[in-house]
Chains A and B, each alone.
Chain A
Amino acid sequence: MAELLIVNNLKTYFDRYDGVVKAVDGISYKVNYGETLAIVGESGSGKTVSVLSLLRLIKRNGRIVDGEAIFDGKDLLKLNKEELRQVRGKDISIVFQDPMTSLNPIMRVGIQIMEPILWHRVMSDKEARERAIELLRLVGIPEYKTRVWDYPFQFSGGMRQRVMIAIALACNPKLVIADEPTTALDVTVRAQILNLLSDMKEEFKTSVIFITHDITLAMNFADTIMVMYAGKIAEYASAEKFIRNPLHPYSQGLISSTLDINAKEGTLRPIPGNPPSLVNPPSGCRFHPRCSYAQDICREVEPEYKEVEDGHFVACHLVKGGKFNA
């Protein structure tokens, strides 16, 4: 079976003083073995929550209201605490956004890499130590044999992110979730880390879910692209199909409002309006207040998320037969 992860109708809501925040409101997607899926969205799109829900790493006022997430034959959302703990760090691991705060400042780097190995009892102490050193070498830390005993503050931002990647790969996970791993880094370092992720993916044969707000990066880097808006999936397609034919108006808007370094002057077309409230989302299609093609049906009826051509899913009333009809 080619599918490593199948998510069906996931709904995660948060209870807040002014109402229920429907952060993720019914999304379905899949990740194949060896695939890189990019989840693209802005703040409030639900991209981070949708993935953290899988490992139930959401805030205390959040609850998974519905859905299933079949990973390797088991429904992640139905696992008990102990079973879930076995999955975290071993079968599925996460690389977080901010390398400055994601590492334990008072623990040596080598120990932090060894921790998941030892917790999941994958190898002996001695083997774990050797593995930690080897991982540091693989992620490109110079003088890795000595640096394995250094503390996080002795590393720069890019180096710390490499350490995070080493920790994520320690138990040879099947799936690595990278939550905006390069956003907090300098531009030139970003390129290094992206290359590293590509290499590691090849080396370890893992699948990757890459969360980002950068559509250009997603189009270049991923095999499959999933665009989220206001807790729902707007569009889902292979990168090639998406590049050739982005169907959803939001996807098109993201592309035309992203400043490309090669763009000609005056070609910037921003998406008007502001991101919607998740407590009181707009009626019908959540994107309609900002959509220049909005029709009456868009204001009233929520569009169905359906397959419009092979492997290409969109939720938009104006898409028929694989074509966008304005």
Chain B
Amino acid sequence: MPELLSVKNLRKYFPVKKKFLKAVDNVSFSLEQGETLGLVGESGSGKSTLGRSILRLIEPDAGEIIFDGVDLRKLKGEELRQKRRFMQIIFQDPLASLNPMMTIGQNIEDPLIIHNIGTREERRRAVEELLDIVGLGREVIDAFPYEFSGGQQQRVGIARALALNPKFIVADEPVSSLDVSIQAQIVSLLYELKRRFKISYLFISHDLAVVRYLSDKVAVMYLGTIVEMAPKEELYTNPLHPYTRALLASVPKMPRDGERQRRFSALKGEVPSPIDLPQGCRFQSRCEYVMETCRKQEPAFREVSPGHFVACHLV
């Protein structure tokens, strides 16, 4: 499959007093058309900033974003706006992402109006079709977002994102704020859409289980860099980076054959501040295998087996 997106050495630093918060620090990855990359990380990992930087909702400081053959960073004004048709975003808080003064129908229709697509009739039909695709009835068209539940609002958000037929969607923790049973519905929906429309997702989440379900490839972020990236099955069955292993171990698993977990394997300490990063590997303060080299030199992000990249001195 042709390569859709190639991110090279992306950087975004936020100035904080005299220092820098290195939110995204030299991140590179690529994505093929139809492929979904799951981006996992805890707070401070920079995953949200990365997602928004790729779309230039936040302006990156350095790096290349080659989307469909064009470097997005070199586009200006109208050209960028035109390109936006093909890359969309779904937000974590569905209510906050919809214009409260516009009806559901108007919210979904807006992308078509913005890009001057279709007549009023055609747009109306498109809205109805989109509602169908996301599993909402047509009676919601004239209602307002706040009247609905989180799950329904998120479906509206998804419908709006699909309106322009994008090739790439950044899904920024789209189910984190939803109830468990609704999460499952939305995840199912996203899965269906992926299969049906061959959309590429950058699926950002802290939930390893959801990521496993939807992704083809998974990248783990810690304090602004990707520490490990591999095809899904490989990452979950053969995690190499100590942080990845710790993440996987700290998630409660469905008890099998009465095997319950009263205690959970826990990483010591907490995520340090991304402002004052230590020299060397960012993970040193919490790593149980830390060595001298780790404190001196930042490990390089290398391919250790086909498609499996790690940044760790131990590997």
Interface positions of A (Cβ within 8 A of B) = 42-43, 156-159, 186-192, 194-195, 198, 213-217, 219-221, 239-240, 243-244, 253-255, 257-263, 265, 268-272, 274-275
Q: Do B181 and A271 touch (CB < 8 A)?
A: yes
CB < 8 Å neighbour of B184 from A195, A268, A275: A268
Which B residues lie within 8 Å of A270 (CB)?
181-182, 184-185, 187-188
CA A239 – CA B246 in complex, angstroms?
26
CA A223 – CA B266 in complex, angstroms?
21
Q: Do A192 and B213 touch (CB < 8 A)?
A: no
Knowing A156-B270, A261-B208 are in contact, say whether A274-B182 is a contact too (CB < 8 A): yes
CA A217 – CA B252 in complex, angstroms?
6
Q: Do A219 and B255 touch (CB < 8 A)?
A: yes
Which A residues lie within 8 Å of B226 (CB)?
none
CA A257 – CA B175 in complex, angstroms?
13
Q: Do B264 and A257 touch (CB < 8 A)?
A: no
Q: Do A198 and B263 touch (CB < 8 A)?
A: yes
Interchain nearest-CB distance for A272 vs B (Å): 7
Which B residues lie within 8 Å of A189 (CB)?
42, 270
Give the top 4 A-B pairs by smallest Cβ distance, nearest first. Answer: A257-B184, A270-B184, A191-B250, A259-B209
Q: Do A187 and B247 touch (CB < 8 A)?
A: yes
Which A residues lie within 8 Å of B106 (CB)?
none
B265 contacts the other chain (CB 8 A): yes
B19 contacts the other chain (CB 8 A): no
CA A189 – CA B269 in complex, angstroms?
8
CA A102 – CA B263 in complex, angstroms?
26
Q: How many A-B residue pairs have CB under 8 A?
A: 140
* B interface residues, tally (CB under 8 Å): 45
CA A133 – CA B212 in complex, angstroms?
43
Q: Do A262 and B253 touch (CB < 8 A)?
A: yes
List B residues 238-263 near A (Cβ within 8 Å).
Answer: 246-255, 258, 260-263
Give 12 pairs: A residue, B residue, CB < 8 Å, sorted on A: A42-B180, A159-B270, A188-B250, A191-B267, A220-B260, A221-B252, A240-B258, A258-B180, A268-B213, A271-B184, A274-B151, A275-B149
Which A residues lie within 8 Å of B182 (CB)?
42, 270, 274-275
Knowing A188-B267, A191-B264 are in contact, say whether A261-B209 is a contact too (CB < 8 A): yes
CB < 8 Å neighbour of B180 from A186, A213, A243, A263: A213
CA A268 – CA B254 in complex, angstroms?
14
B126 contacts the other chain (CB 8 A): no
CB < 8 Å neighbour of B253 from A157, A216, A244, A265: A216
Mark B80-116 against chain A: 1 for CB-CB distance below 8 A, else 0: 0000000000000000000000000000000000000
Q: Do B188 and A194 touch (CB < 8 A)?
A: no
Q: Do A255 and B250 touch (CB < 8 A)?
A: no
